[in-house]
């Protein structure tokens, strides 16, 4: 099949030279999702739990546009501006992956776009 780019208006628009996700037909690779509303309004002043929920809602919208969902996510990477936010982020994250969660890496990043506290990307399969 070849590379295909994924776009949805239910998630925030790409803020640079990247796609919301790409696929080769079987695997879906998402861009990192941050706490932007679908209209592009930043929620950088909100607590980590609110930012995590918005980032995961954006991720869900991108996965849906690609024809998949959280049940088919193989791996996520979570970038935190402050690793001390891990517990609060993880509480929200766990509610999105209640059964058979994907493999995950969580790392502290030097800084995230727009002063965000969290960014989450995923690799998923298409059913």
Q: Give me the pLDDT at residue 16, please.
A: 85
| The dihedral formed by the CA atoms of 30, 60, 96 and 71, expressed in degrees to the nearest 10 | -80
Model confidence at 60, pLDDT cuts 50, 70, 90, reads very high
75-127, pLDDT tens digit by residue? 999 999 999 999 999 999 999 998 999 999 999 999 999 999 999 999 999 99
Structure tokens at 20: 């919301």
Q: Where are the domains of the chain?
A: 4-125
Summarize the confidence of residues 32-43 as an average pLDDT: 95
CATH number, domain 4-125, options 3.90.25.10, 3.30.360.10, 3.40.50.1820, 3.30.1330.40 = 3.30.1330.40
């Amino acid at each position: 099949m070849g590379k295909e780019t994924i776009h949805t208006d239910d998630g925030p628009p790409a803020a640079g030279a990247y796609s919301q996700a790409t696929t080769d037909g079987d695997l879906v690779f998402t861009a990192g999702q941050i706490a932007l509303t679908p209209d592009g309004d930043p929620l950088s002043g909100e607590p980590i739990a609110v930012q995590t929920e918005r980032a995961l809602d954006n991720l869900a919208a991108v996965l849906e546009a690609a024809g998949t969902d959280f049940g088919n996510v193989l791996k996520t990477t979570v970038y935190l501006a402050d690793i001390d936010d891990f517990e609060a982020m993880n509480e929200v994250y766990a509610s999105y992956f209640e059964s058979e969660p994907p493999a995950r890496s969580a790392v502290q990043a030097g800084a995230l776009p727009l002063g965000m506290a969290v960014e989450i990307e995923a690799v998923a399969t298409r059913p």
